[in-house]
Structure 1
Amino acid sequence: MDNQHVVQALQHLLGTTYDKTTKSTVTELTGRTRVVGPNDITTREFDLQRVHVRVGAQGRIEAITFG
């Protein structure tokens, strides 16, 4: 699944509240095992297979990015 398909598969998560099940949901829907949520520690290496779940101040998912 390329990144464009990942964004399409996760579109329904935008605007929802990030919780402890979000990372497992992303992995289940996309097959990607490298999922980074808010406050997760990650390396600075550039990896287009890594999915970043960007969350706003109110805890709602605002974007899905890669790298």
Structure 2
Amino acid sequence: MHAYYFKSSVGIFRIFPFRGNFWLEIDRGMYSAYISPEEAAIDVYMHTTGHNGWDKLKGIEDAPEDLSGWRYL
């Protein structure tokens, strides 16, 4: 299955299609469903994912602003 990947200090984020939505996953935990992968990438960029370890790093660790900074495999 094709997915978008972003490696952070707290683990690897993955955005992938599943049952008509795009899911955001880190460390095999699914956090939210989105209408588009771009929306999920924005939540990672804004540190509003629901993953406490990542969200607490706002202003400390940067993420790509959009999917162009993610790997697609």
Q: Under a length normalisation based on structure 2, what TM-score does the superposition of the two structures give?
A: 0.29
Greater percentage in helix: 1
